[in-house]
């Protein structure tokens, strides 16, 4: 929770003061960080009728008595063809048991800084005896009797248009929680199968920043989201602590500063060039060169060395490289690293 609050405040403050970056970066297409449809087979699908109680449903099982959640390809009410969608059907029931529900539960989902939820859903073309459904998405922080928050609640009828929603997830940035996708049927469950066309968590991406005289970067241990001048970005791995030092693929730092980085596979060497300064580091070596002069990466700990982490990410010591490039590095407990250029 504290990381979420700090990250939110930092975004707001940096956007207000501008940190001397000049024109803001332009927004590019958002990046999908989690696809609920791709991961539907991993969700816990369940359904119930109030009188008969609850029971489990198996994803991919076609059972009109027990309800189902299955892959869908076909034409929807808007007349367009879709594939790789997920059809969810509440259990069958009678008018005497009018409230039937199917729920997909996704556990332990990361909500990175900048995240939002994007949803598209509708009915199959030509269905009849359709009473409509209530579509809802809830979020909870998980871990026992945690409070649940409603992200979406909408009545969907067959009207020739798909339902669409974009949900701001900023209250939950930095958290790990559970998402529940629910479909409540009407008086009967006949044909009340809702098709989820899109259900993803996205974060914005930005074009590369030009070199500037001042910038601030913020990283969190074990989080793929980081900030460059207040703009949320996403890396393909996470910073980690090894030998009490922070390691990450250093290109996320040097490219934000406007520096150049080069990898030499034959020599297992990384070369960083920034203005008149050149740094060379080797995998497994506790020394580096700065403008040709050998120096220890961490004089107090010879075990601090660059390494390669599966599936092939080159992890470099953050503090050594950042300070050598003229940055100030601040550790903010419990898990935040802030880099400011220039150092003074």
pLDDT in tens, 176-194: 889 999 988 865 556 678 9
- How much is the average pLDDT of 197-215? 70
Looking at residue 285, what is its pLDDT?
Answer: 95
Residue 241 has pLDDT above 70, yes or no: yes
Place of tokens 């990898």: 263
Identify which of 190, 68, 217, 219 has the alpha carbon closest to the alpha carbon of residue 127: 190
d(CA 231, CA 11): 7
Q: pLDDT exceeding 70 applies to what percent of the chain? A: 76
246: helix, strand or coil: strand
Of 24-28, 103-107, 304-308, which one has max mean pLDDT? 304-308
Residue 56 has pLDDT above 50, yes or no: no
Is the bond preceding 279 in cis, omega lying within 30 degrees of 0?
A: no
Q: Are 102 and 69 in contact (CB under 8 A)?
A: yes
Q: Whole-angstrom distance between the N-terminal and C-terminal Cα of the chain?
A: 31
What are the sequence ranges of the domains in the chain? Answer: 2-26+208-341, 32-204
CATH class of 32-204: mainly beta
CA distances (Å), 117 to each of 18, 27, 30, 33, 42, in order?
Answer: 27, 17, 11, 10, 19
Looking at residue 51, what is its pLDDT?
Answer: 39
Task: Indicate the length of the chain as a whole number.
Answer: 344
Q: Are 326 and 341 in contact (CB under 8 A)?
A: yes
19: helix, strand or coil: helix
- How much is the average pLDDT of 133-152? 79
Higher pLDDT, 14 or 184: 184
Looking at residue 187, what is its pLDDT?
Answer: 57
Identify which of 32, 31, 55 has the alpha carbon closest to the alpha carbon of residue 44: 55
Residue 66 has pLDDT above 80, yes or no: no
Instruction: Using pLDDT thresholds of 50, 70 and 90, give the confidence band for residue 129.
Output: low
Looking at residue 8, what is its pLDDT?
Answer: 39
Q: Are 239 and 259 in contact (CB under 8 A)?
A: no
d(CA 219, CA 10): 11
- How much is the average pLDDT of 58-63? 43
Looking at residue 25, what is its pLDDT?
Answer: 40
Radius of gyration (C-alpha) of the chain in whole angstroms:
25
Looking at residue 224, what is its pLDDT?
Answer: 87
Q: Are 141 and 184 in contact (CB under 8 A)?
A: no
Residue 217 has pLDDT above 80, yes or no: yes
CATH class of 2-26+208-341: alpha beta
Q: pLDDT exceeding 90 applies to what percent of the chain? A: 38
d(CA 79, CA 193): 17
Residue 312 has pLDDT above 90, yes or no: no
Torsion of CA 226, 231, 236, 241, to 10 degrees: -10
Looking at residue 209, what is its pLDDT?
Answer: 46
Q: Residues 37-55: pLDDT tens digits?
A: 988 888 888 776 443 444 3
Average pLDDT, the chain: 79
- How much is the average pLDDT of 301-306? 96
- How much is the average pLDDT of 93-109? 73
Non-local (6+) Cβ contacts of 203 within 8 A are 30, 31, 33, 112, 113, 114, 115, 116, 225, 232, 233, 234
Residue 55, both tokens: 């029971």
Looking at residue 280, what is its pLDDT?
Answer: 97
- How much is the average pLDDT of 1-11? 38
Residue 63 has pLDDT above 50, yes or no: no
d(CA 117, CA 74): 24
Least confident of 36-40, 141-145, 336-340: 141-145
Other beta carbons less than 10 A from residue 255's beta carbon: 14
């Amino acid at each position: 929770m504290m990381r979420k609050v700090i990250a939110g405040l930092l975004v707001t403050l940096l956007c207000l003061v501008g940190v001397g970056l000049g024109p803001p970066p332009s927004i590019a297409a958002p990046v999908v960080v989690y696809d609920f449809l791709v991961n539907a087979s991993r969700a816990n699908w369940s359904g119930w009728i109030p009188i008969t109680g609850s029971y489990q449903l198996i994803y991919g099982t076609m059972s009109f008595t027990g309800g189902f959640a299955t892959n869908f390809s076909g034409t929807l009410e808007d007349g367009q063809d879709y594939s790789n969608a997920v059809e969810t059907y509440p259990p069958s029931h009678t008018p005497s048991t009018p409230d039937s529900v199917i729920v997909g539960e996704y556990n332990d989902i990361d909500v990175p800084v900048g995240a939002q939820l994007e949803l598209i859903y509708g009915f199959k073309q030509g269905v009849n005896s359709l009473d409509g459904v209530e579509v809802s998405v809830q979020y909870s922080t998980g871990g026992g009797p945690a409070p649940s928050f409603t992200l979406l609640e909408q009545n969907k009828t067959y009207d020739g248009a798909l339902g669409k929603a974009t949900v701001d997830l900023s209250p939950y940035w930095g958290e790990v929680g559970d998402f529940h996708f629910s479909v409540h049927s009407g008086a009967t469950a006949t044909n009340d199968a809702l098709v989820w066309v899109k259900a993803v968590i996205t974060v914005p991406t930005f074009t590369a920043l030009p070199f500037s005289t001042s910038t601030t970067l913020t990283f969190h241990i074990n989080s793929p989201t980081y900030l460059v001048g207040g703009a949320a970005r996403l890396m393909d791995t996470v910073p980690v602590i090894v030998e009490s030092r922070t390691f990450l693929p250093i290109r996320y730092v040097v490219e934000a500063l406007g520096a150049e980085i080069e990898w030499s596979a034959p020599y297992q060497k990384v070369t960083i060039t920034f203005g008149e300064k050149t740094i060379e580091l080797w995998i497994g070596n506790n020394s580096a060169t700065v403008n040709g002069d050998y120096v220890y990466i961490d004089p107090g700990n010879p075990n601090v060395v660059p390494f390669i982490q599966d599936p092939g990410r080159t992890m470099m010591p953050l503090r050594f490289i950042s300070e050598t490039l003229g940055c100030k590095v601040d550790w903010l407990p419990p898990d935040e690293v802030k880099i400011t250029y220039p150092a003074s």
